[in-house]
Amino acid sequence: SAMGCKNCCSICLQCLFGYETNVMLVINNKGVGALFRLIQFLIIAYVAVYVCWIQRAYQDTDSVISSVSTKVKGNILTNTSIEGVHVWDVPEYVIPPQGEKSFLVLTNVIQTPGQTQSKCPECESDSDCIEGHTEVHGNGVQTGHCVQYSDTIKTCEVQAWCPLENDTIIPKPALLGAAEHFTVLIKNNIQYPKFSFRKRNLLHHINSTYLKNCTFDRKTDPHCPIFRLGHMVTEAGEDFSIMALKGGIIGIFIDWNCDLDFPERFCIPKYSFSRLDNKNPENNIAPGYNFRFAKYYKNNKSIETRTLIKAFGIRFDVIVFGMVTAICDWVMLTCMKDRDQYAKRKFIHLNQNGDSVPLVSKS
C-alpha cells in the first residue's frame, strides 16, 4: 500500500541521514586517566618502535639469490663430406665451454672452411652495385663491380670473407641430433639473505654414489641433479629431432618457493621445463636459435683464414626463482632476524659448509 511505502521510505531516509555515534562514558579521575594514557602510549610506542622499526615485521618475504654451474657430458661421431669422420666432444659443441647457467648445445652446423678476406660475387642479390654500400642482411661490403655469377645472372661483387657461406640447405636430420642422449649436471646454490637461509640442490640425504649414476626422472629420481637433454625437451612438450634442426631455447626452471614456518628439510627444489622461444612462424621473426662464430688460422703464407660455423643449437637457460614466506611471523608480527635464534627455533644447526643440518641427524 502507499501508506506502507511512505513508511518504508521514511525509514530508509532516517537510516541514511541519521547520525550515529557511540554513547561514551567519561570518568574524570586523574589517576585512572593518566594510567589510561600511559597504556595507550606504550602500545603506540611498541608498534612504532619495536614492531615496525626494529623487527620490520611487515617484511615477511624474501627473494632468492642463486648461483649455478653446469657440466655437459657426451660424444658424437659424424661423417660429412667436408670434414670426414669427426668426433665432437664437449669443448667443441658446448658454447660457452665454462659451464655457465645459460649454455648452448650445438645440434646442427653449416661449416664454411677456408674463408679469406677477398672479393667474391654475392650470389643472392642482383641489385645495383653501389661502392661501399653495406646491405644490412648481405654478407659483405659491395665493391661497385658487377660480375658474371653464372651464365645468366650478373651480381654485385662484395669485399668479404670469401667464399661466401651458403646456408640455404640445412642438414636434415640434424648433424648432431644424437645430443639427445647427452647429460648435464646442474649444481645450484641458493640463499635467502634476510632469513640467513642457504641450501644446495645436492640434498643432504643423498650420497655421492647415487649422484654419480642417477638420471633425473620425475617419479623415480626427483632429486637427481643430472638431466638427459632429450628428457628435458620431451617434458617441455617438444620433439628433440625437430627442434635440433633449427635450434631453440629451453628453460630449466628451479622453483625454491618455501614456507620457512615448516622445518628446513621441506624446502626442496622443484624442476620444470618449457620452451621459451616461439616456434610458430606467425607473429615471429628468425625462428629457432642460431648464430655464427669462426675458428681463425694462418696458412703457410701467413694469410689469415677461418672456418665460419653457422651454429644451430638448443640454449638451456637455468632460471632459478622463489620467494620464502613466513606466515606465522606475519600473523605474530615478528620476524627472526638473527640466524642463530632462527636456527634454534627451527631445531637446526649450521655445519662448517654453511649448510643447515637438522639437529635430529646428529643424535
C-alpha cell at 276: 621459451
Question: Which residue from 1, 3, 5, 18 is in contact with its own copies, where contact means CB under 8 A?
Answer: 18
Look at the alpha carbons of 292, 293, 298, 300 in this order and tell me if their dihedral is positive or negative: negative
Q: Identify the bridge partners of residue 145 per DSSP, sorted by sequence position.
A: none
If one asks whether residue 8 binds its own copies (CB under 8 A), the answer comes out as: no
Look at the alpha carbons of 220, 224, 228, 234 in this order and tell me if their dihedral is positive or negative: positive
If one asks whether residue 333 binds its own copies (CB under 8 A), the answer comes out as: no
If one asks whether residue 330 binds its own copies (CB under 8 A), the answer comes out as: yes
**Residue ranges of the binding site for ATP:** 71-73, 183, 290-292, 310
In sequence order, which ranges of 65-143 are alpha helices (DSSP H)? 90-93
Q: Which of residues 172-211 bind its own copies (CB under 8 A)?
A: 178, 181-183, 185, 187, 189, 193, 200, 202-204, 206-208, 211
Least separation in angstroms between CB 151 and its own copies: 28
Length of the chain equals: 363
Local structure of residue 50 (DSSP, 8 states)? I
**CA–CA separation, 133 and 150 (whole Å):** 23
If one asks whether residue 152 binds its own copies (CB under 8 A), the answer comes out as: no
Q: Which of 296, 333, 347 is nearest to 161 (CA)?
A: 296
If one asks whether residue 358 binds its own copies (CB under 8 A), the answer comes out as: no
Least separation in angstroms between CB 212 and its own copies: 6
Question: Which residue from 331, 332, 359, 360 is in contact with its own copies, where contact means CB under 8 A?
Answer: 331
Question: Which residue from 4, 54, 137, 152 is in contact with its own copies, where contact means CB under 8 A?
Answer: 137
Q: Which of residues 249-288 bind its own copies (CB under 8 A)?
A: 249, 251, 253, 255, 274, 276-286
Least separation in angstroms between CB 81 and its own copies: 15
Least separation in angstroms between CB 308 and its own copies: 7
**Calculated CA dihedral for residues 75, 105, 82, 290, nearest 10 degrees:** 170
Question: What's the N-to-C CA distance of the chain in angstroms?
Answer: 83
If one asks whether residue 14 binds its own copies (CB under 8 A), the answer comes out as: yes
Question: Which residue from 315, 324, 348, 356 is in contact with its own copies, where contact means CB under 8 A?
Answer: 315
What 3-state DSSP class applies to 296? Answer: strand
